[in-house]
Each structure stands twice: as structure tokens, then as C-alpha cells.
Amino acid sequence: MEIQENIINKVANSGLITLNLEDYHHPGERIVYDIKENLFHGLMLREKDFREFIKTHDWSQYQDKNISVICSTDAIVPTWAYMLLANKLKPYANEVVFGSLETLDAILFSKAIAKINPENFANERVVVKGCGDIDIPVSAYVEITNLLTPVVKSIMFGEPCSTVPVYKRKD
């Protein structure tokens, strides 16, 4: 006589909602535009030369890319130069920011999280997935916590089978 036990999936029956921030990762390529390439002798930006570059450069190569604009040298670059770059890049690029690739990722996630309707998580127990294939900036975890805390029953971090409590509403 064979005895069969029913296996109960407690995680599936827990009522937890898993929120995976990887789902909010913009897939576009991330590149750095270093304005040092436009400097005269690596020291200064000459307005006439830079304006000619701005006019003749093929900006279409940046189509749908996410671009961080930096200057990796100690040169003094006038603010208007970054503004000119942004003006030419934006019609082609998905996103243009001043700063590092880390800054770019933080801004991309911030914009994606801002589109989340927190009411979709009202009175829910939410697990913010903690590990995966994509590096998620810590700032994204802070933003999602700030967004959801006013409406959820609880926020946990990790995986549904192994979570760290972050917030629990006192009813």
C-alpha cells in the first residue's frame, strides 16, 4: 500500500507579492561620453572648434542609448558645453545625464520607479527581490521603500522563502 503526502507550497499560499526591480531595468546600452576628447591639447575647450564638432558630428550613433556625460580630466569645461551636448544627444538617446554610469543607472531606475502606482500594492505584503542577474543601485531600493511604505502592510527584502523584514504597519 502506497501512502502519498500532499506537499504544500507555503510560499505560494503566503499572499506575498514579489517585486523584482530587475523588471524596471532599462535594456538600452549604457555608454560614457567623455568631453575630454573635445579639449584642445587636453587642456581647454575652444568654443569655435566645439561648435563645429557639435554641428558636424553624427549624433545618430547614439540612437536609443543611455549616455552619461563626463570629463575625466582636470580641465575646466564651461557649463554651456554640457548643455550643447545634451541638446544634441537627447533627440537620439533614451537618457542623457551628467555623471558616472552609476549615476545614470540610479536615474534610470528612479524614473522607472516613479511610474509605479503605489496603490497597486495597497494593503499587500511585498517582498522586494534581493538578488538577481542585474546590479540594482541601492538608491532604487530606497526609492521603492519610500514609495510603498505609506500603502503596504509590510515590506520585506530577499526571496519569499528567506526574507528580512523592513517595515510592518501597525494596525
Where residue 60 falls (left for φ over 0; alpha for ψ -120 to 50; beta otherwise) is alpha
Q: Residue 39 contacts by C-beta under 8 Å, 6 or more apart in sequence?
A: 45, 73, 75, 77
Return the pLDDT at 130: 87
Taking only the tens place, the pLDDT of each residue in 47-62 is: 999 999 999 999 999 9
Report whether pLDDT(10) > 90.
no
Q: What is the pTM of this model?
A: 0.85
Residue 110 is given by DSSP the state: H
Where residue 91 falls (left for φ over 0; alpha for ψ -120 to 50; beta otherwise) is alpha
The owner of cell 550643447 is 84
Return the pLDDT at 12: 46
Q: Are 34 and 72 in contact (CB under 8 A)?
A: yes
Share of the chain above pLDDT 70, in %: 92
C-alpha 115/C-alpha 93 separation (Å) is 20
Taking only the tens place, the pLDDT of each residue in 51-109 is: 999 999 999 999 999 999 999 999 989 999 999 999 999 999 999 999 999 999 999 99
C-alpha 64/C-alpha 58 separation (Å) is 14
Query: In this structure, which amino acid lies at residue 99?
Result: G
| pLDDT-derived band at 160, boundaries 50, 70, 90 | confident
